[in-house]
Amino acid sequence: MNPKPKTLAIVGYGRMGRLVEQLAPANGFEVVLKLNQGNNRNGEGLTLNALADVDAAIEFSTPEAAPSNLKRLAELKVPTVAGATGWLEHLPEVTRAVQESPSALVWSANFSIGAAVFSRLAGVAAELMRDETGYGAWAWEIHHDTKKDAPSGTLLHLVDTMRKRGYLRNIDVSSNRAGRHPGTHEIGFDSAADTITLRHVARSREGFAQGALKAAQWIIGRKGVYTFEQVLFG
Ligand SMILES: NC(=O)c1ccc[n+]([C@@H]2O[C@H](COP(=O)([O-])OP(=O)(O)OC[C@H]3O[C@@H](n4cnc5c(N)ncnc54)[C@H](OP(=O)(O)O)[C@@H]3O)[C@@H](O)[C@H]2O)c1
């Protein structure tokens, strides 16, 4: 017999929120609350009453709305998956809210499993290249023309990963916004002798929604702030 589904709130019911809803039943969730700008302006939909029977929330709103939604969900002790991008300068205050409550949060600019593996590979490549001064590095991404933040959170995370692994020379960063691309990220190293290119191509948004639902199952029953890489690799 299948276990009873966990209850899920979707905060940010746009393209990603709708996809999460579609894939929720196959991932052991029943969606019991859906909030968008219309019913959650200034966080008015995030009440103790509305969230009383919610096991986890998945937040895919906007860079502007995400920080206050995430802090409110932390105050209400709802284990949350933070999928929106472009709000990371507020991570310290969101982390404080989660720790003070205490509650639980998993955040990532990219919930695709392939992209998490790609980020690990970028870190290894950066470490191997850190003393090879004959090589220059670049980091590039392209997304659909409605994506609000640029460079993408994923690209910023890739560059940060490369820096943390000791690659301190210039990394030339660029972005494009055009058409319907769900997201392509690339890092590369070039020298007089050769070029290395590492590229991750998202084929659809489904991988992000699947990863967010996997993180939502994982975060239930935990306390603290985690990244998706910790969910996948420990
Ligand atoms: N981490 C990842 O893997 C990943 C993958 C893809 C996208 N993203 C990010 O996820 C976010 C959403 O992407 P999307 O493509 O789904 O965008 P979207 O289609 O524009 O949807 C955004 C939704 O947020 C809602 N919203 C605005 N203010 C809100 C508030 N105060 N409370 C609750 N909802 C609110 C909007 O409501 P209305 O419809 O009422 O305006 C809309 O439904 C973006 O930041 C995007 O970059 C992350």
| Ligand 1 close to Cβ of residue 12 (< 6 A) | yes
| Ligand 1 close to Cβ of residue 107 (< 6 A) | no
| Ligand 1 close to Cβ of residue 119 (< 6 A) | no
Q: Total structural domains in the chain?
A: 2
* Residue 17 belongs to a domain: yes
Catalytic residue (choose from 6, 34, 71, 143): 143
Q: Is the pLDDT of residue 148 over 90?
A: no
Does residue 125 share a domain with residue 105?
A: no
* Residue 63 belongs to a domain: yes
Q: Is the pLDDT of residue 206 over 80?
A: yes
**Strand runs (DSSP E) across the chain, as ranges?**
6-11, 29-35, 56-59, 80-82, 104-107, 136-143, 171-177, 184-190, 195-201, 224-227
Does residue 102 share a domain with residue 11?
A: yes
pLDDT tens digits, residue range 4-42? 999 999 999 999 999 999 999 999 999 999 999 999 998
* Residue 174 belongs to a domain: yes
- The mean pLDDT value for 54-73 works out to 98
Q: What's the pTM?
A: 0.92
Does residue 136 share a domain with residue 190?
A: yes
Active-site annotation holds for 223: no
Does residue 81 share a domain with residue 20?
A: yes
Order across the sheet with 184-190: list the strands. Answer: 171-177, 136-143, 184-190, 195-201
CATH of the domain at 173: 3.30.360.10
- The whole domain housing 93 covers 6-111+206-233
CATH of the domain at 44: 3.40.50.720
Does residue 141 share a domain with residue 33?
A: no
Active-site annotation holds for 147: yes
Biggest alpha carbon–alpha carbon distance for the chain: 64
